[in-house]
Amino acid sequence: MQEHATSPTDQAAGGAPTSSQSKSNPAAPPMALPSVPPRLALIYALLCVLGVAASVELLRIHVFVHTDPAYHSVCAMSEGVNCETVALSPYAVFAGVPVAVWGIFGYLVMGALAVSGLGKWRLHAAWPWGLLLALTGFAVLASAILAYISATQIASLCLFCMGSYAITTALMVLVIIASRRARARLLGLAMLDAKALLRRPLIGVVGGIAIAATLLGLELLMPRYWKAPGWGDLPQLPFGLDADGHHWIGAKKPVLTIVEFSDYECPHCRKAHKSTRVLAAKYPEQVRLIHRHLPLDQACHPGLRMPFHAHACRFAEAAECAGAQGRFWQMNDALFSTQDKVKAKDVDPMALAVRIGLNRARFKRCMDDHAMAPRLAKDIEESMHRRMNGTPTFLIGDEVLPGWVSESDLERRLRSTP
């Protein structure tokens, strides 16, 4: 059943062409477009609901991975398939707002538009498939870019992200099906919707204001929970070696000592280390942080059954070789901070050594001779004895704490320490 009767208005929006029009523009839409089945709009809206659900879960992961040291996502399955790794990357935020929030917003807008294509709300027989074409095309392009970044820059895939990409692809398939049911080209549908909005400017104005207000609210009100001090912002603290030769930073006479078992190729270690350094700076007379190595790399870890972090042992040796020249913490920060921008395989310890002012020949000899391998072996042996299976892992007294140490937990321990 067609909802449009032939009228001058319809003809202006793409109605019946004259014979001369047909010759000059054979792609001109027919006098009255066949009605697109409402069930397509309903399916589109339901897929948007699934997209909202996936985006909400991604936002939940993003929030908890930045705020809860005990959190572990169900899709943190391996180094190559890990939603937490993706959430920790700088690519998880765009224009000051988490990408997951943009996903929720986009799916809600597209879903609401699809609902307007049901029954009496339609502005014409094929409404709103032209507008949905534009929005869905943008969503597919954004999905392709994010998938490329995930595979090439982050080197880890996110299952919920891939689910969202599949949903946007399915939405585009529905748009193509709708255009075929309307017997019109996609561009023709877009022009038809644009003309329909021009005839009802109030709808466009109200919708535009609502969208603009929402975007402004996101920019102004969204809490920046993922923000952390830059590596250059970390305060300078006393440092040295303890009685066992381990590098420490913080209090000279600590009330509480935190031992960190860390892997320089682990993104979670990078975040947890920075967080702990910030805590140590808040209690400079009470808290000391000791760094120990737990590289999840078969090159120096005898307990690993399969390859994992292929550069972690080399990075740990680089830190210790720098420590031999009194620059352990400078190399520590350089190894971590560089990986905020480049992949581990592109990190050159020799270039970092030059950058932080080491004697290049002495550093190279230390690295080539694997002079610090015994130090690493001692730390790895200790971690295996304590059954530490992942990084980062913290040790306070004899208590093993996976993840990181929260400020509330630290304050509680300080209060209970005599």
Residue 179's closest CA among 47, 48, 36? 36
Residue 326: pLDDT band with limits 50, 70, 90: very high
* Strands (DSSP E) found in 163-298: 239-241, 247-250, 256-262, 287-293
Q: Which of 79-88, 223-232, 380-389 holds the top average pLDDT?
A: 380-389
Written as one letter, the residue type at 192 is L
Please compute Rg for the chain using Cα positions: 29
Which pTM value belongs to this model? 0.68
- Whole-angstrom distance, CA of residue 335 vs CA of residue 348: 9
Written as one letter, the residue type at 105 is F
Q: Hey, which CATH number is domain 231-416, 2.20.130.10, 3.40.50.1000, 3.40.30.10, 3.30.70.260?
A: 3.40.30.10
Q: Where are the alpha helices (DSSP H) in 235-290?
A: 267-282
- Number of neighbouring beta carbons within 10 Å of residue 272: 22
Residue 20 has pLDDT above 60, yes or no: no
CATH superfamily of 8-221: VKOR domain (1.20.1440.130)
What average pLDDT does range 283-291 have in this prediction?
95
Residue 82's closest CA among 308, 395, 272? 308
128 upstream amide cis, omega within 30 of 0: yes
Per-residue pLDDT, 32: 53
Written as one letter, the residue type at 55 is S
- Residues of CATH 1.20.1440.130 domain(s) within the chain? 8-221
Tokens of 88: 């920790």
Tokens of 327: 């620059």
Q: Please give the C-alpha separations between residue 131 and each of 109, 120, 200, 270, 364, in angstroms, as whole numbers.
A: 11, 18, 15, 43, 61
Q: What is the mean pLDDT of the chain?
A: 85
- Whole-angstrom distance, CA of residue 69 vs CA of residue 75: 17
- Residues of CATH 3.40.30.10 domain(s) within the chain? 231-416
Q: Where are the alpha helices (DSSP H) in 83-185?
A: 83-88, 99-115, 129-149, 159-181
Residue 322: pLDDT band with limits 50, 70, 90: very high
Written as one letter, the residue type at 125 is A
CA dihedral of 402, 408, 410, 413, whole degrees rounded to 10: -110
